[in-house]
Amino acid sequence: MNDSEKSYFFQLFHLGSDSRKSKFSENIDNKPQTEIDLLLSIVGREALREKRPNLQELDQIIKGLIEQENTGKESTNGVDTDDADDDGGGGGGQEEERSRDRSTPFSIVRMLLQEGYLRDDEKWLTWKGFSKIGNLILDDVMKALKLGEVGAHSTNNIGVGSVVLDTTRKFEDGDDMRLVNIPLSLLNCVLRTQKEFSRIDIPLQLKRDDLEEYETLYDVRASVVYCIDLSSTMKYSRMFGDLSRIEAAKKALWSLVMLNKKYFPNDSVYVVGFGSLASNVKISDIPYLKTFDAGSDFLHYTNYQAAFRLSKRVLLEEGSANKRIILVTDGHPSACFMDDAKQQERILKSRPYSHFYQPDASSLDSAQADYDMRLDISAGNLVYLCYRYRQVDSYIAEQTMLEAEKCHKKGIYIDTLMISEEDSLLGFVNNMERRVKGRSYYVSPDALETTLLSDFIRNKQTILRA
């Protein structure tokens, strides 16, 4: 916790119950980028945890931070109660007040519930809370990128597009009359009339030079699917830092969603989670994503092909010309679909140790209950599983490459971000990206969000220039 957070929590702890509520509400209403942001940042960190606390545990975590800081603050200040008594007994009243404050029940979580940031549910973030925390994450990343709001979606194509801006220019013959700024045009007419005749006649006599029209820019939309690896190894933590790979990936996707809403609202953004099978993920469920456990019915393998097939189906339903898949993973593929029985027979002859997985109705229901994910089996339901240490099974590599090339032929570009401390998958991913003319990045979890946002913004600017 930084010094600003510590100072805020210490002040909050020493206020009485009513005063706390008053100050808390004041912060929410009047200080959108100060104390309340610090509190929501902590709530956001807890929401990202794979072992997410319930509301009661969340309240205890926050109270623990407050009491921890309070104890340290009092030790530093060195309160002397005897000296306070010598000052007319006032010190005893202050000590009694502090004691009463410690015993007064106060729930920050309850206040967040009342203000609409949380709800009493297992998934306790409301859309208001999701958006607020997501914007805080985005602001931090944008500061790291040294990007301001102006220019993040700049383009040289001004005045002939379909996105209407707030800025205006002089109307020209042949322009669309629907873009005329009526209030500003009337004001121009009034000012001109007053200057020419020293009076204003009604009705006004508009001239062409009075007309102002809104500027526009090209509506260059993009449709993007972020594929997030939910295999069991994504739960690993780095040796340094407090985020696991999956938590870092969720934080990055959270900020990307807010980036699109803020700068590129016409874009279509989707999220796909995948292990052995893939599933569509609701945007608001990003913080709640969990990795598949190693014992969860073989779902914990890594099937790029499943992610590509589901993403391709989603993107081909979109009307935008710019389609893109961004794959976020920490390991090479260890699974692929078997599209016919003969393939299975050939593999068993050459690799008798091979494993295959075909989920039944019970397994699918279990995944729905445990992970709140409806797994897609329309792309294939017989999965070949083969994990090989530091290398990719040749058949899985071939099928994965073919699926990536099918996406490329449909005009879908694929980029891959690898978040791992090992470079064993670098060669395979680089080879795949060369074949589909995509890009590959090798980043650590603590740099994931800045790399992903920087890449997305640069790509958008390139599209706009094109």
Q: Is-above-0.85 flag for pTM?
A: no
CATH 3.40.50.410 in the chain, residues? 222-465
Q: What Å distances lie between residue 111 and 18, 40, 49, 449, CA to CA?
A: 12, 12, 22, 30
User: Per-residue pLDDT tens for 276-288?
Assistant: 999 999 999 999 9
pLDDT at 161 over 50: no
Confidence of residue 390 (pLDDT cuts 50, 70, 90): confident
Q: What span, in angstroms and rounded, lies between the C-alpha atoms of 16 and 100?
A: 8
User: Closest Cα partner for 129 from 36, 24, 263, 266?
Assistant: 36
Residue 412 CB neighbour total at 10 angstroms: 22
Span 141-167, average pLDDT: 50
pLDDT of residue 217: 54
Q: What span, in angstroms and rounded, lies between the C-alpha atoms of 192 and 207?
A: 10
User: Per-residue pLDDT tens for 50-104?
Assistant: 888 989 899 888 888 767 766 665 565 555 444 444 444 444 555 544 444 443 3
User: Per-residue pLDDT tens for 307-328?
Assistant: 999 999 999 998 788 899 999 9
Distant-in-sequence, close-in-space partners of 244: CB < 8 Å, separation ≥ 6: 50, 234, 235, 236, 237, 238, 445
Hey, what CATH topology would domain 222-465 get?
Rossmann fold (3.40.50)
Amino acid code (one letter) for 192 = R
Structure tokens at 133: 């925390």
pLDDT of residue 327: 93
pLDDT at 463 over 50: no
Residue of 363 and 131 predicted with greater confidence: 131
Structure tokens at 405: 């090339």
What is the rounded radius of gyration, in angstroms, for the C-alpha atoms of the chain?
Answer: 29
